[in-house]
C-alpha cells in the first residue's frame, strides 16, 4: 500500500536507535542535571561546556541522539567546501604530478571528483531521510548487510585514527621548511596539544576551527589561482621564471603524461586521499541545529570545491611546474613540503615570502585534517558502541555532548607519530599510509550501494520519489556511476600494486603497501559476520519506514511551488547553490 507523504511513524521513531533524531532540539539543550548545576548567568567556560561537571556522564534517556546539536548552517557549509583540503592537495599533488604528469593529475582528480559529487548527494538524500547519531556506516547496516556495516564502521574509525598521526608528522616537517633547528618531535607534541585543547571544546571547537581555517584555505587557493593566471600570462617578477609568456609549455615539454597509462593509474590513490573527509558533512549533520534545512545547501557546495578548489588549482599547478622537476622526484608524497608544487611555483616565480605564507596555510590545513580525524573517528566509534558493534563504554557521552572515551581512543593513535622519529620510522609511516590510502574508497562505494538499495526498497514498499524531501541530483543513476568508478579505481590501484612504476612485478611487501586496505576490510567483514551472524538483506526485508525524519511537507510544497514559478535562470541558480 502506498504511503501518504505526511506519514509519520512516531512510535517507530522512538524504537529504532540510532536512526533517529529530532530537528526541534534547541542549540543549547544539554543534560538537564547539568543545566541545574549552572548558576545564572553562566560564565564563558560553562557556556563552552568546559567545567568539571561537564565531563560527567550525560543522563538524558528520552531521546536517541545525545550529541550536542550546536552546529549551524555556516559550519556545515564550510565543512563541505573546505573541510578535506589538506596535505593531499597541497603536498601529495607534487608526488602525483611526478608520477603521472599534469594530464593525469587533472584526469584522476576529475574522475574522483565525479565520484565524490554523486557520493555526497546520495549521502545527503539518506541523511535527510534517516538522520543518524554519529555514523553513516549505519546506512550500510540498514540497507546492505549488517556484517558489511560493521566492517565499514570499523574501517572508517581506523581510517581516521591513522590519518591523525600522519597529519601530525606532516605538520612537524612543515615547520622544518624554515630550518628552525628544533627536533620534529617537539613540533609534533605542540600540534598534538593544540588538537587536544580544541577537542576539549567539543563539536563547537571543531566547527569553529573548521569554519575559519576553511576560509583561510579557500582565500589562499583563490589568491594562488589569481597569481598563477598572471604568471602563466607572463606577468611574473623579472627575477623569476615567469617574466615572459609561459602558457601551456609544460603540457608539450616534458609533456602532459608521465609513465603512460600506468602513470594515470598510480595517481588515483593520491586523489582519493586528497578528497577524504568530504563525507564528513553527512556525519556532522547529526550535530546540526536543523540538519533538514542546512544539509542540502551544504551538499551543493561540494560542486564548487571540486571544480574551483581542486581541478582549477591543479590545472595551474600543471601549467607552472614541470613533472620532471628534480625537487619532485623521490620525495615522500605527503611529508616533504619542499616538494609541494604550490611552494615550488612560488619559488620559481621569485615571489619572496609567498612560499612561507603557503607553508603557514599548509600547516593550518594539516592540523585541520587531524582534527577532522578525531571528530570523524570518535563519532563513528560512539555509534558503533550504541549499536553493540563496539565495547559499550565507547558510548559514554558527557554532559556537554562530547563522546569522551571514543575521543580519547582516537587521540591515543597520535602517539604513532613519534614512531617516525626512529630509524625505522619511514617504513612504519609507509605502512600507516597503506592502511589509510584506499579506506575512503570502500566508504564511498558503500554509501552509493546503500543509496541504490534504499531506492529499490523504497519502490518495493509502494513509495514514490515525491515522498523524498531531498533527492540526489542524478538519482540512482548517479550512485551507480559513483559505485562503478570506485570499482574501476580499485582495479587501477591493484594493477599498479602488482606492476608498479619502473617495470617488473612487485614483491609482497610492495603489493600490501599499495593494497593493504582490502584485506583489512575483509577481516572486519568476517569479524562482523561472526559477531552478528547476519548476512545480505533482501529487498523485501529492508525497513524504509521506521526512523524517518518528521517532515513539514506544507513548507516543502510551498517552496517547490515558489521555485517552479521562478525564471529558468533563477531555478538553475537554486539547483546549483
CATH superfamily of 91-576: Amino acid/polyamine transporter I (1.20.1740.10)
Residue 224 binned pLDDT confidence (cut-offs 50, 70, 90):
very high
Alpha-carbon gap, residue 278 to 482, rounded angstroms? 14
- Quote the percentage of the chain above a pLDDT of 90: 18
Residue 191 binned pLDDT confidence (cut-offs 50, 70, 90):
very high
What are the sequence ranges of the domains in the chain?
A: 91-576
Residues 517-559 have pLDDT tens digits of: 888 888 888 888 887 777 778 888 898 888 787 777 777 777 7
Res 321 pLDDT > 80 = yes
Q: Give mean pLDDT, residues 35-54.
A: 53
Res 2 pLDDT > 70 = no
C-alpha cell read off for 266:
598510480
Residue 325 binned pLDDT confidence (cut-offs 50, 70, 90):
confident
With CA atoms as reference, report the closest residue to 65 among 406, 391, 379: 379
pLDDT at 332: 60
Residue 53 binned pLDDT confidence (cut-offs 50, 70, 90):
low
Cβ pair 173, 337 in contact under 8 A = yes
Res 87 pLDDT > 70 = yes
pLDDT at 88: 79
The rounded mean pLDDT for the chain is 79
Report DSSP letters for 92-125, one per residue: IHHHHHHHHHHHHHHHHHHHHHHHHHHHHHHHHH
Report DSSP letters for 217-272, one per residue: HHHHHHHHHHHHHHHHTT-S-TTSTTSS--TTHHIIIIIS-SSHHHHHHHHHHHHH
When mean pLDDT is compared across 28-37, 399-408, 554-563, the lowest value belongs to 28-37
pLDDT at 306: 76
With CA atoms as reference, report the closest residue to 296 among 126, 490, 534: 126
Residue 8 binned pLDDT confidence (cut-offs 50, 70, 90):
very low
When mean pLDDT is compared across 1-15, 274-288, 345-359, 374-388, the lowest value belongs to 1-15
pLDDT at 82: 67
Which residues, in sequence order, are CB contacts of 486 under 8 Å at separation 6+?
115, 441, 442, 444, 445, 448
When mean pLDDT is compared across 167-176, 218-227, 289-298, 302-311, the lowest value belongs to 289-298
pLDDT at 573: 75
Residues 442-487 have pLDDT tens digits of: 989 999 999 999 999 999 998 888 888 888 889 999 999 999 999 9
When mean pLDDT is compared across 23-27, 88-92, 198-202, 568-572, the lowest value belongs to 23-27
The structure's pTM equals 0.82
pLDDT at 284: 63
Measured from the Cβ of residue 577, the count of other Cβ atoms closer than 10 Å reads 10
Res 222 pLDDT > 70 = yes
Amino acid at each position: 500500500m502506498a504511503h501518504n507523504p505526511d506519514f509519520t511513524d512516531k512510535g517507530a521513531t522512538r524504537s529504532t536507535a540510532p536512526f533517529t533524531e529530532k530537528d526541534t532540539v534547541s542549540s543549547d539543550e544539554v543534560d538537564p542535571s547539568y543545566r541545574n548545576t549552572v548558576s545564572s548567568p553562566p560564565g564563558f567556560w560553562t557556556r563552552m561546556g568546559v567545567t568539571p561537571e561537564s565531563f560527567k556522564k550525560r543522563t538524558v534517556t528520552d531521546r536517541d541522539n545525545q550529541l550536542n546539536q550546536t552546529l549551524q548552517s555556516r559550519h556545515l557549509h564550510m565543512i563541505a567546501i573546505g573541510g578535506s583540503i589538506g596535505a593531499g592537495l597541497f603536498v601529495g599533488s607534487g608526488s602525483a604530478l611526478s608520477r603521472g604528469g599534469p594530464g593525469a593529475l587533472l584526469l584522476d582528480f576529475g574522475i574522483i571528483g565525479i565520484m565524490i559529487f554523486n557520493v555526497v548527494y546520495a549521502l545527503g538524500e539518506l541523511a535527510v531521510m534517516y538522520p543518524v547519531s554519529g555514523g553513516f556506516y549505519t546506512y550500510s547496516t540498514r540497507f546492505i548487510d549488517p556484517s558489511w556495516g560493521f566492517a565499514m564502521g570499523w574501517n572508517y574509525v581506523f581510517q581516521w585514527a591513522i590519518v591523525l598521526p600522519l597529519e601530525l608528522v606532516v605538520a612537524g616537517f612543515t615547520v622544518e621548511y624554515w630550518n628552525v633547528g628544533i627536533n620534529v618531535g617537539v613540533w609534533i607534541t605542540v600540534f598534538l596539544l593544540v588538537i587536544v585543547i580544541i577537542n576539549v571544546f567539543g563539536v563547537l571547537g571543531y566547527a569553529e576551527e573548521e569554519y575559519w581555517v576553511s576560509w583561510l584555505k579557500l582565500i589562499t587557493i583563490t589568491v594562488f589561482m589569481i597569481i598563477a593566471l598572471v604568471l602563466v600570462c607572463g606577468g611574473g617578477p623579472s627575477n623569476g621564471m615567469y617574466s615572459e609568456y609561459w602558457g601551456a609549455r609544460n603540457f608539450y615539454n616534458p609533456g602532459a603524461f608521465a609513465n603512460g597509462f600506468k602513470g594515470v593509474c598510480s595517481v588515483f590513490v593520491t586523489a582519493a586521499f586528497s578528497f577524504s573527509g568530504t563525507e564528513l558533512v553527512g556525519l556532522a549533520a547529526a550535530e546540526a541545529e536543523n540538519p533538514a534545512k542546512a544539509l542540502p545547501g551544504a551538499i551543493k557546495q561540494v560542486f564548487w570545491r571540486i571544480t574551483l578548489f581542486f581541478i582549477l588549482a591543479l590545472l595551474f599547478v600543471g601549467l607552472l611546474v614541470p613533472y620532471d622537476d628534480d625537487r619532485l622526484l623521490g620525495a615522500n608524497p605527503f611529508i616533504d613540503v619542499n616538494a609541494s608544487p604550490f611552494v615550488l611555483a612560488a619559488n620559481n616565480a621569485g615571489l619572496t615570502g609567498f612560499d612561507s605564507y603557503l607553508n603557514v596555510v599548509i600547516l593550518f590545513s594539516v592540523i585541520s585534517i587531524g582534527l577532522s580525524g578525531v571528530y570523524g573517528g570518535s563519532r563513528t566509534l560512539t555509534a558503533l558502541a550504541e549499536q553493540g558493534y563496539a565495547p559499550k563504554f565507547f558510548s559514554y557521552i558527557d554532559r556537554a555532548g562530547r563522546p569522551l572515551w571514543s575521543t580519547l581512543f582516537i587521540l591515543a593513535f597520535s602517539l604513532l607519530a613519534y614512531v617516525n622519529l626512529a630509524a625505522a620510522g619511514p617504513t612504519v609511516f609507509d605502512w600507516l599510509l597503506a592502511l589509510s590510502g584506499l579506506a575512503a574508497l570502500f566508504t564511498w562505494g558503500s554509501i552509493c550501494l546503500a543509496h541504490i538499495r534504499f531506492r529499490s526498497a523504497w519502490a518495493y514498499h509502494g513509495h514514490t520519489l515525491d515522498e523524498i524531501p531531498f533527492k540526489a541530483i542524478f538519482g540512482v543513476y548517479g550512485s551507480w556511476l559513483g559505485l562503478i568508478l570506485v570499482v574501476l579505481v580499485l582495479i587501477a590501484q591493484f594493477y599498479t600494486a602488482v606492476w608498479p612504476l619502473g617495470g617488473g612485478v612487485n614483491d609482497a611487501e610492495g603489493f600490501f603497501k599499495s593494497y593493504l586496505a582490502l584485506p583489512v576490510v575483509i577481516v572486519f567483514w568476517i569479524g562482523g559476520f561472526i559477531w552478528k551472524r547476519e548476512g545480505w538483506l533482501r529487498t523485501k526485508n529492508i525497513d524504509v519506514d521506521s526512523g524517518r525524519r518528521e517532515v513539514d511537507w506544507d513548507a516543502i510544497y510551498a517552496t517547490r511551488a515558489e521555485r517552479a514559478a521562478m525564471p529558468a535562470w533563477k531555478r538553475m541558480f537554486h539547483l546549483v547553490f
